[in-house]
């Protein structure tokens, strides 16, 4: 095990013990994760289905939704979204469900957990809900997002 992996695992184990951290249900239930991803595709245009392709129409639609140029839209991806959770403990949680997304599994692209749509998503995709300021990579940020969800702000 690489040093970074060992440190990440130790931090995740410590947090789980000290904070009674529980993985969100969609990270342990592939069917629920897939169902939530399908909702994100249908209702929030999560995509593109093949991020490696040009996808000009997809990015033009996003540009119109956000009121920006297509090139600016292309820079707004899950990997830099405020609710894209890549904390060490969440990375441990999503290992199984990230393998249920064929693109993530085959490409090896970074995956994270969407705190709004509640599914494991690829850093190279996006959705209509993109929020500047990510990714989320600390416990404090995680608590801020969960509090905003509970208060109906997200």
* Pair of tokens at residue 73: 């839209």
Where are the extended beta strands (E) located within the chain? 84-85, 111-114, 119-122
Give pTM, 2 decimals. Answer: 0.76
**pLDDT, tens digit only, all 154 positions of the chain:** 444 455 445 545 554 554 566 789 998 888 999 999 999 999 999 999 889 899 999 999 999 999 999 999 999 999 999 889 998 888 888 876 666 677 777 777 888 999 999 999 999 999 999 999 889 876 555 556 666 656 665 5
Whether residue 24 contacts residue 113, with contact meaning beta carbons closer than 8 Å, is answered with yes
pLDDT at 133: 87
Q: Where are the domains of the chain?
A: 23-46+78-150
Whether residue 151 contacts residue 71, with contact meaning beta carbons closer than 8 Å, is answered with no
Closest CA to 74 of 48, 112, 101, 44: 48
Distances, alpha carbon 50 to alpha carbons 29, 58, 71, in Å: 24, 11, 17
């Amino acid at each position: 095990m690489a040093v970074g992996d060992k440190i990440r695992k130790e931090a995740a184990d410590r947090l789980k013990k000290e904070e009674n951290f529980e993985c969100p249900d969609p990270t342990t239930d592939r069917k629920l994760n897939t169902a939530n991803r399908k909702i994100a595709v249908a209702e929030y245009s999560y995509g593109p289905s093949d991020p490696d392709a040009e996808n000009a129409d997809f990015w033009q639609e996003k540009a119109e939704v956000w009121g920006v140029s297509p090139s600016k839209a292309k820079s707004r991806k899950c990997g830099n979204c405020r609710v894209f959770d890549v904390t060490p403990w969440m990375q441990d949680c999503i290992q199984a469900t990230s393998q249920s997304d064929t693109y993530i599994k085959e490409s090896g692209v970074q995956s994270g957990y969407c705190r709004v749509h509640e599914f494991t998503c690829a850093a190279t995709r996006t959705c209509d809900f993109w929020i500047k300021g990510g990714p989320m990579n600390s416990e404090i940020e995680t608590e801020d997002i969960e509090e905003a969800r509970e208060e109906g702000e997200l």
